[in-house]
Structure 1
Amino acid sequence: MNDNQKLPAHVRFFLPIIEVLKNLGGSGSPSEIKDGLIELCHLSENELDEKLKTGITRIDNQIIWSKIYLTQAELIDSSNKDLWRLTEKGFKSNLSENDVKKLFKQIHSKFISKGLKKAKKSNVTEIETESEITEIPKHKEELLSILLSLSPEGFERICQRLLRASGFKKVVVTGKSGDGGIDGEGILEINALVSLKVVFQAKRYKDTVSASQIRDFRGAMQGRAEKGIIISTGRFTQDAQKEAIREGVPPIELVDGAKLVELFEQQELGLKRKTIYEIDIDFFEEYR
């Protein structure tokens, strides 16, 4: 790779990921890191919505590739898929743009070298490019697809089931027209003496939920409950997320498609746990 060759788009996230992790105290969940990148890099809604053929968003794809390179460079440890953390080397790093270019080329050359070895063994003449990758397990996409295919009433009832499994009591689906978008309500017991009435809205959306929809829901819940939850199969815009926690008004919990899948996983609703083993090729290298 010569110095004038254009670098892949994901390289732009190398330094921001390190900065976000430092701002988070050295570690963070993938969602926290993504939120930090959205704010730090001023990512637009159009960028966040753009998807590749596999269904993964282009931004998520680039973040995954950045994680792979930064892990290979021993700047971050992502052995726990739910928590990325800076290594000591990552904490002490103060990389320049030129350092980033050198880092990319160094790691990239290793990938190319491994790719050539595999290609020779299998008589393959072309090495795959890194244009598209997905670490999203197949069941996550399938689950979201199934939830989107449910009827509106069915999605409300499955949200009711999820809330019950998550510890809410007396969860009922109201689903009345003209009810300001409130689809149901329940009681969340904080402890033996304190409980909160909660109303929820179930949005079977493929697209984004806007700030105005958050405000409409908050208006409908005024005087009826202490807490509100909006559950969506889609994504909340940045303005919607800010509106949900705006000072001076009741906060609203937002559950987007990714978090919804996580909740189904935690409660094992409609999912069966499986253990899968993957061969660690590098482990055997010293024995060849």
Structure 2
Amino acid sequence: MPIPDFQSLMLPALKALSDSAEKPVSEIRNHIAKAEGLTPEEMQELLPSGRQPVFVNRVSWALLHLGRAGLSERIRRGVWRLTEEGESLLADAPPRIDMNYLRNYPAYVTWRTSKNTSPSSGDATLIPPDDSADTPEEELDRIVRQLRNELEADVLDRVREAPPAFFEQVVVDLLIAMGYGGGDAERGRVTGRSGDGGIDGTIREDALGLDEVYVQAKKYADSNTVGEGDLRNFAGAIDAAGTTKGVFVTTSGFTSAAKNYVARSPKRIVLIDGKELARLMVVHSLGVRTRIRHEIKRIDEDYFDQEAL
């Protein structure tokens, strides 16, 4: 089943503390997972950033909101317990607890208002909607994904608009940026000219130049996919050059027959389509530059851990 959003986890989190005992977060998570019928695989599902499991993130935010409302309290690092206010609420058996419900508690309203109010204007419009299902990390990941997708689409458009010779240079530059040739631009070169035998570029695989990788670059429209014939010709050119490795890059895509041919071929040929090309260019900062950099910081628990002193 899908992992419940963090607001839907508020009531299960409070119920996990219902015996009023002090409980570590790991025990709270296990209690919730069992109650919600989550599988181990679902509990390990990661945020798009890959830095934290979705379930861990959502439980943490559920506990934070409950704590700010005074329904639970963090008594020390990673350990929570139910408050009298929380015990009273559970006795009323509410069907759901969410951000809108927590507005019944003045401490929660004060926290939500103070943390979202602009110091300069006093405007509280920065408060996220109470029906939001995403935690701040999930919302941030979604925005970053959206911006990255738009950037990758723009990069691919610009590459398609460029002359073929520039595209061939882009491919060689990308492989250098990825570490081929030891990252030395002098170890990669564009060879794409008439009579090139199907080879548009070569690059030394490592800094010592022990092996060469041959490159084919096809600047096609999105609807014009690369077929098996193009791959056969490329494999033949690689064979004639006396090597076994190649990278075939296109701004469009590859037919199923082309992919199947590469899978069966004894040659080691890597296929990079337009979407993957744009993604790699962004990842390796080729043709793009950083405009804004934000640092997301969190509490250093070790610094505030008095028991460790």
- Report TM bin, short chain: 0.3 to 0.5
Larger Rg belongs to: 2
Task: Give TM-score scaled by structure 2 length.
Answer: 0.45
